[in-house]
């Protein structure tokens, strides 16, 4: 299996050097690059890398900030710091990263680090299925399995999880496009996308429409088409 790598460094020569080394190591490919920390969240969501090579000192979010964010959001990523500064190693390993490499980079050193990431990821079989959403001046990573439903209300897309609601300036179609095909999610009506993993019961009206009750007690109206589809899933 070829592992997908995202390279993050504010210096173009450093990014080029990493890409050059990786091109000579079988089994890995660079799928994207970022020159500052603020670009990373969206790239992780869209490119779905399995490994992120991070510089530490960058404009916007630092590499340490990003590693902390990955950990808090339960991102199943391989994280390797590649930096000119060795004084951050203790802080880095406190964040449970995979490795810490100081520049100048030796190809054999990077290859060993990537090999360890590959071994760990092969043990961890849980796939990465995340959604990056804008919240104020940052991006928040959500695992799709934690999304109960999303509904368009008052010009906003409200994404409901078990413990909070995120208000996002997207349309429902934009959310569907970002999510791709997810078997657990059904478009209940024109305004609502629901995760059937949280379904509790379905009441069907004489007209063929329905009312889906979720495990937290929320109720969602379902169209005739959605009602038939939900019935077929159970």
| pLDDT tens per residue across span 69-113 | 887 776 778 999 998 877 767 666 677 788 999 989 999 999 999
Residue 113, both tokens:
């680090």
pLDDT of 126 reads 47
pLDDT of 128 reads 45
What is the bridge-based pairing of β-strands 199-204 and 156-161? unpaired
pLDDT in tens, 34-55: 998 888 988 988 898 999 999 9
Q: How many CB atoms lie within 10 A of CB 112?
A: 12
For residue 43, report the phi and psi dihedrals to the nearest 5 degrees.
-65, -40
Mean pLDDT of 18-28: 95
Percent of the chain topping pLDDT 90: 54
Residue 28 pLDDT greater than 80, yes or no: yes
pTM > 0.75: no
- What is the CATH number that goes with domain 3-123? 3.40.50.2300
Residues in a beta bridge with 99: 80
Percent of the chain topping pLDDT 70: 92
The domain locations on the chain are 3-123, 142-233
3-123 and 142-233 in the same fold = no
Is residue 141 within 8 Å of residue 52, measured between CB atoms? Answer: no
Residue 182 pLDDT greater than 70, yes or no: no
Fold annotation for 142-233: OB fold (Dihydrolipoamide Acetyltransferase, E2P) (2.40.50)
């Amino acid at each position: 299996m070829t592992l997908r790598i995202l390279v993050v460094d504010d210096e173009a020569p450093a990014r080029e050097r990493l890409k050059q080394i990786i091109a000579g190591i079988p089994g890995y490919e660079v799928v994207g690059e970022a020159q500052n920390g603020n670009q990373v969240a969206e790239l992780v969501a869209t490119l779905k890398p399995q490994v992120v090579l991070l510089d530490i000192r960058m404009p916007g979010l630092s590499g340490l900030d990003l590693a902390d964010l990955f950990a808090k959001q339960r991102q199943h990523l391989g994280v390797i710091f590649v930096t000119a500064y060795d004084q951050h190693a203790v802080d880095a390993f406190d964040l449970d990263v995979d490795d810490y490499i100081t520049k100048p980079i030796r190809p054999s050193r990077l290859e060993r680090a990537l090999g360890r990431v590959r071994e760990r990821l092969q043990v961890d079989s849980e796939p990465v299925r995340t959604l990056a959403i804008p919240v104020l001046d940052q991006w928040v990573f959500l695992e799709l399995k934690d999304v109960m439903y999303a509904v368009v209300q008052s010009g906003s897309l409200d994404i409901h999880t078990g413990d909070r609601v995120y208000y996002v300036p997207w349309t429902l179609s934009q959310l569907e496009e970002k999510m791709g095909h997810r078997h657990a999610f059904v478009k209940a009506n024109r305004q609502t996308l629901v995760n059937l993993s949280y379904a509790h019961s379905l009441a069907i009206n004489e007209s063929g429409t329905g009312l889906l009750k979720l495990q937290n007690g929320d109720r969602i109206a379902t169209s005739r088409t959605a009602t038939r589809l939900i019935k077929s899933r159970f």
